[in-house]
Amino acid sequence: MKKLQKVIILGDPGLDGATALSLALADPNLEVLAALACAGNVNAEQATRNMQAVLARLDPPRWPRLGVAPVVDYDVDGRFWHGANGMVGLELPSAPPLNAPSSDKLLIELARKFPGEISLLNMGPCTVLAQALDREPGLVDLLQNVVVVGGAWRDPGTILPGVEFHFHCDPQAARRVIHAGFRLQLVTLDATRSLVVSPAMMTGWNELSALGEFMRELLPPALRLAEMSHGIEGVAMDDVGALLALVRPDGCKMRSIPVDIETQGEITKGMSIFDTRRNNHGGKANINVILQIESAVFEQYFNDLIRH
């Protein structure tokens, strides 16, 4: 029997986060051990509810464990992009989790149980991962690798000029994670701009799986929101970039660069600083930064799982 890659999804679902979780659950090569909620696009309670709702809607043969989002108070959220509940108003039934552990505690528990076997896909602010590091400094060696969706290299940014949303929410946590020593890949906005579900892409979804049926519910209202509010014909799927970095590295262009995070700037809070100076940074490159993902790889992966 083929050994599956153990994965933990940590995110703040959102449209792209809900989609990334759905794709991971449908991927026959992945074993999703846990879906860990965190605040970001929506508040902690809504994030946990959305994560649970996606699991209930897809009802995978093997349910991941659910981590409850710790309550935090960011000064921004993602309702502008994702609607009031993070799911463009789509109401999915979900039962409140009973006695589910907090996301940081569950991450530590599973990392200890499967040392060196788990890939963590961090698709939200880095708060939960930083909290887990505080509880268990050995987490750096317990996880096989970490993929973080965050930062902007040459991209104009989202929440502020040159600033990406996840890092802006909690720049101190992002900086802590970046410098912790994980085997880490950083998926930047530059890479994820090519990850867009367009109306044309959806026309080919004739053979509907459970994943396809869910996408048919979720994405049409998301397309309408994108067009009416943002003037964009397509739904951005930034968080899917973390999944592609893991399962389709052949479609990713990567560069090793020293990275730091601005934590104090009045108009640059959360800005990612990429030190590309020649022989001037006093040390070797510390982060594998993904700067480009081929759109064709994204579309093929998405379509293959829809029809799986």
Q: What is the pLDDT of residues 173-196, one digit of tens each?
A: 999 999 999 999 999 999 999 999
Whole-number pLDDT of residue 307: 82
Q: How many residues does the chain have?
A: 308
CATH architecture group of domain 5-306: Alpha-Beta Complex (3.90)
Is 1 strand, coil or helix?
Answer: coil
* Rounded Cα gap, residues 146 and 7, in angstroms: 10
- Is residue 279 over pLDDT 90? no
Residue 122 near residue 107, CB atoms below 8 Å? no
pLDDT band (50, 70, 90) for residue 238? very high
Which whole number is the average pLDDT over 40-46?
93
Whole-number pLDDT of residue 283: 63
Provide the strand spans (E) within the chain.
5-11, 30-37, 65-67, 118-123, 145-149, 184-187, 196-197, 235-236, 252-257, 259-261, 272-274, 287-293
- Higher per-residue confidence, 193 vs 208: 193
Structural tokens at position 287: 């982060």
| Model pLDDT for residues 46-74, shown as the tens digit of each residue | 999 999 999 999 999 999 999 999 999 89
- Region of residue 34 (left: phi > 0; alpha: psi -120 to 50; beta: else): beta
- Is residue 97 over pLDDT 80? no
* Rounded Cα gap, residues 188 and 152, in angstroms: 5
Residue 146 near residue 178, CB atoms below 8 Å? no
Which whole number is the average pLDDT over 68-95?
82
Q: Where are the domains of the chain?
A: 5-306
pLDDT cut 70: percent of the chain above it = 95
- Is residue 98 over pLDDT 80? no
- Is residue 204 over pLDDT 80? no
- Is residue 218 over pLDDT 80? yes
Average pLDDT, the chain: 92
Which whole number is the average pLDDT over 274-294?
82
- Region of residue 5 (left: phi > 0; alpha: psi -120 to 50; beta: else): beta
Among candidate residues 293, 180, 285, the one with its CA nearest the CA of residue 245: 293
pLDDT band (50, 70, 90) for residue 79? confident
Whole-number pLDDT of residue 125: 98
